[in-house]
Amino acid sequence: MKNLVMTSSMLLALVAFNSNAADINAGKAKSATCVACHGANGISAIPMYPNLAGQKEMYLAKQLRDFKSGARKDPVMSAMAMPLSEEDIKNLAAYYASLK
């Protein structure tokens, strides 16, 4: 019985994790507005803008949430992050994290 409960718990956790999995293709599509500053492949041609390619997914998502909430202040990024949904943030973070 104990093994059944543990197995069931693990399966539920796996299903929950997969249902929250980000969509890299949706992130790529949403990144069209990011290209002007952060480059087509997440590598900025302008030194004052950071490269996003290869950054850690959780870091990127946190930064976008912070810009959206006002915890991190930048007039341009705050305006860009404001309309993003939580799903958009996860997808964008997954996309940029997937790039080399």
CATH of the domain at 50: 1.10.760.10
Q: Would 8 be classed as within a structural domain? A: no
Q: For the beta carbon of residue 84, count every other beta carbon within 10 angstroms.
A: 18
pLDDT in tens, 43-97: 999 999 999 999 999 999 999 999 999 999 999 999 999 999 999 999 999 999 9
Q: Cβ contacts of residue 92 below 8 Å, gap of 6+?
A: 27, 30, 31, 34, 60, 61, 64, 84
Q: Would 65 be classed as within a structural domain? A: yes
CA-derived radius of gyration, the chain: 17
Calpha distance 84→16 (Å, rounded): 22
The reported pLDDT for the residue numbered 90 is: 98
How many structural domains are present in the chain? 1
Q: Would 11 be classed as within a structural domain? A: no
The reported pLDDT for the residue numbered 18 is: 47
Is pLDDT above 70 for 14? no
Q: Would 6 be classed as within a structural domain? A: no
Calpha distance 62→93 (Å, rounded): 9
State the residue range of the domain holding 77.
Answer: 23-98
Calpha distance 60→12 (Å, rounded): 27
